[in-house]
């Protein structure tokens, strides 16, 4: 089956990494080709290393270019795929229009966002989402959502209800697993003893991740448990970030906070933690939760997207924006006897294995593609 996968960009975000994980496991019978709308292709080399072509339309982020639709339509006609699958709003809009202009018989969209509040999104993003909601009734044949909350939010926004389906993100439990050697090595890198409590937040610097709120909660926790250290990693999460430094100073966390920036050894970092925190105000399906849980690390999270469903009864969930509640959740998890927290972490890994194991998730993607290809073939036959 020939697949053309059109995505807004190939940074190291959750949707982009999920695309990579799917491509790594599609296996025989699939011939994928990836097209990025923008030149941002950080993970492009990793996809090419799989023997999969990657190209960019060269669009500049934030600058509309109607000509890109024509260029993409020409390219799709040349590739002549059985299925076009677009990822994220801008690619859904431009890719959907280009695919129909090119006469593609089967088009699927992918949604990896669940907060459409004006306070949490750029006006341009909301404008594209509104256009997609109207065109969802005629452009795509199927719409794949990475979470149930994302599906509900977009149905309420006017998306075509009958085309929506949910396939959650998946996790490689051979990669994300408990690792005592990694735990000790990371702590040695940070200059911490093996028993120092370590809380982590891993994610790019973005308003929806709410790093400011995390630092506020960490400051509240620090007043009660002064021995706790905090590990933050992700794109833009480094000593060059003045906003983070200000938040650390205001929360009196100088000397207790480690800003590691963008890292390629996330499984090692996860395995080093005692608790993983998500303070987000907007998420669809936070990958970091499943990654931490795979490492037997319990999570304290805000109730955004499918966070509560992912965590289940293996961690603590607080309302969005409740940083005092998040601080209390961290405190309760850290105060648990080590043996009890270990059992909780093991339950977390079991939950990921049962519901989000990457092999099972990719099989659901294959079914999605097979159904789209069959629909396209019926159209070609007629």
Mean pLDDT of 37-53: 94
Same domain for 196 and 131?
no
Domain co-membership, 260 together with 271: yes
Q: What is the pLDDT of residue 117?
A: 83
pLDDT reading at 382 higher than 80: no
Strand bridging mode 142-145 / 107-111: parallel
Q: What is the pLDDT of residues 195-229, one digit of tens each?
A: 999 999 999 999 889 999 999 999 999 999 999 99
| CATH number for the domain that contains residue 292 | 3.40.50.2000
Same domain, 69 and 27: yes
Query: What is the C-alpha to C-alpha distance for residues 205 and 201, in angstroms, rounded to an integer?
Result: 11
Residue 90 lies in a domain: yes
Range of the domain at 268: 180-355
Task: Give the integer Cα–Cα distance in Å for 101 and 99.
Answer: 5
- Distance (Å, rounded) from C-alpha 42 to C-alpha 2? 24
pLDDT, tens digit, for every residue of 4-39? 999 999 987 889 999 999 999 999 999 999 999 999
Q: What is the pLDDT of residue 305?
A: 86
**Do 375 and 336 reside in the same domain of the chain?**
no
Domain-located, residue 175: no
Grouping H, G, I as helix, E, B as strand and the rest as coil, residue 88 is coil
Q: Is the pLDDT of residue 62 over 80?
A: no
Q: What's the whole-number average pLDDT of the chain? A: 95
Number of domains in the chain: 2
Number of residues written out for the chain: 382
Residue 238 inside a domain? The answer is yes
Spatial neighbors of 211 by CB under 8 A, at least 6 apart, are 201, 205, 232, 237, 243, 244, 247, 279
Helix (H) or strand (E) holding 2: strand 2-7
Distant-in-sequence, close-in-space partners of 33: CB < 8 Å, separation ≥ 6: 2, 3, 4, 5, 52, 53, 55, 79, 81
Q: What's the rounded mean pLDDT across residues 94-108?
A: 96
329 in the same domain as 271? yes
pLDDT at residue number 280: 95
Residue 216 makes CB contacts below 8 A (sequence gap 6+) with: 247, 251, 323
Q: Same domain for 202 and 61?
A: no
Q: Is the pLDDT of residue 63 over 80?
A: no
48, 287, 346 from 352: Cα distances, Å: 29, 11, 10
Cα-flanking dihedrals φ and ψ of residue 96, to 5°? -65, -45
* Burial of 42 (C-beta count, 10 Å sphere; 0-12/13-18/19+): middle
Give the model confidence (pLDDT) of 227-260 as tens digits: 999 999 999 999 999 999 999 999 999 999 999 9
Q: Give bridge partners of residue 72 from the DSSP assignment.
A: none
Is the same domain home to 273 and 221? yes
Same domain, 196 and 335: yes
C-alpha distances (whole Å) from 193 to each of 185, 198, 225, 239 are 10, 10, 16, 23
Please tell me whether residues 303 and 234 are part of one structural domain: yes
Do 278 and 197 fall into the same domain? yes
- Assigned domain for 55 exists: yes
């Amino acid at each position: 089956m020939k697949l053309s996968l059109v995505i807004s960009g190939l940074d190291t975000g959750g949707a982009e990494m999920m695309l990579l994980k799917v491509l790594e496991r599609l296996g025989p019978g699939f011939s994928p080709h990836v097209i990025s709308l923008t030149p941002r292709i950080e993970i492009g080399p990793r996809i090419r290393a799989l023997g999969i072509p990657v190209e960019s339309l060269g669009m500049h982020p934030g600058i509309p270019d109607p000509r890109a639709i024509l260029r993409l339509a020409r390219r799709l006609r040349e590739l002549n795929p059985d299925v076009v699958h677009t990822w994220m709003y801008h690619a859904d809009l431009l890719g959907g229009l280009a695919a129909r202009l090119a006469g593609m018989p089967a088009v699927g969209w992918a949604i990896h966002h669940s907060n459409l509040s004006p306070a949490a999104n750029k006006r341009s993003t909301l404008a594209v989402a509104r256009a997609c909601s109207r065109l969802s009734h005629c452009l795509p044949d199927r719409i794949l959502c990475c979470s149930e909350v994302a599906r509900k939010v977009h149905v309420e926004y006017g998306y075509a209800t009958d085309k929506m389906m949910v396939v959650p993100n998946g996790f490689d439990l051979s990669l994300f697993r408990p690792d005592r050697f990694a735990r000790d090595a990371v702590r040695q890198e940070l200059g911490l003893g093996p028993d120092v409590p370590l809380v982590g937040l891993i994610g790019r610097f973005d308003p929806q991740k709410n790093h400011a709120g995390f630092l506020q909660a960490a400051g509240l926790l620090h007043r009660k448990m002064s021995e706790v250290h905090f590990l933050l990693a992700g794109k833009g999460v480094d000593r060059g970030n003045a906003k983070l430094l200000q938040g650390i100073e205001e929360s009196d966390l100088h000397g207790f906070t480690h800003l590691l920036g963008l890292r390629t050894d996330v499984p090692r970092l996860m395995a080093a933690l005692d608790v993983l925190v998500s303070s987000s105000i907007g998420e669809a399906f936070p990958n970091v939760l499943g990654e931490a849980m795979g490492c037997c690390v319990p999570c304290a999270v805000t109730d955004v997207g499918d966070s509560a469903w992912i965590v289940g009864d293996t961690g603590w969930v607080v309302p969005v924006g409740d940083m005092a509640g998040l601080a209390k959740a961290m405190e309760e998890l850290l105060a648990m006897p080590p043996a009890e927290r270990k059992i909780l972490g093991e339950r977390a890994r079991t939950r990921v294995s049962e519901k989000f194991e990457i092999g099972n998730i990719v099989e659901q993607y294959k079914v999605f593609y097979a159904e789209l290809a069959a629909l396209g073939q019926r159209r070609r036959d007629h």
